[in-house]
Amino acid sequence: MSLDNRNTSAQYKRAEQLKRWEESEMNKKLSGAPKSPSSRRIKFSSGCIFLAACVAGDKEEVEWLLKNGADIDTANVDGLTALHQRCLTKQE
């Protein structure tokens, strides 16, 4: 599976996961009332943002994250770090 297909698949799975959560009984119990999509507040760790910036090739963001303590050993759902992803991208 190519890196683009993997990223698209991960985004689709995450969107489905968020949709299921919004409709879940647990979410309704915790929130008391259904929330509008515009009020969602999802926060990602600096390591996750670092992975995304590396995959996107955003050098400025990567440098900023490294200077601010991003965990370079953060792995994606497949267990790949940013270094693994970069090596795979160079081979394709």
Q: Give the tens place of pLDDT for each residue, 59-86.
A: 899 899 999 998 889 888 888 898 888 7
Domain ranges of the chain: 3-31+39-89
The pair of structure tokens assigned to 45 is 């760790």
Rounded to an integer, what distance in angstroms lies between the CA atom of residue 58 and that of residue 63?
9
Q: Which residue has the tokens 């970069």?
A: 86
Predicted pLDDT of residue 1: 58
* Helices 59-67 & 46-56 angle (0-180, nearest 10): 150
Rounded to an integer, what distance in angstroms lies between the CA atom of residue 48 and that of residue 70?
9
Rounded to an integer, what distance in angstroms lies between the CA atom of residue 9 and that of residue 72?
23
- pTM, two decimal places: 0.51
pLDDT in tens, 11-64: 888 888 888 888 888 877 776 655 566 666 778 888 888 888 888 888 899 899
Domain 3-31+39-89 -> CATH class: mainly alpha
The pair of structure tokens assigned to 53 is 């910036």
Q: Which residue has the tokens 């990567």?
A: 62
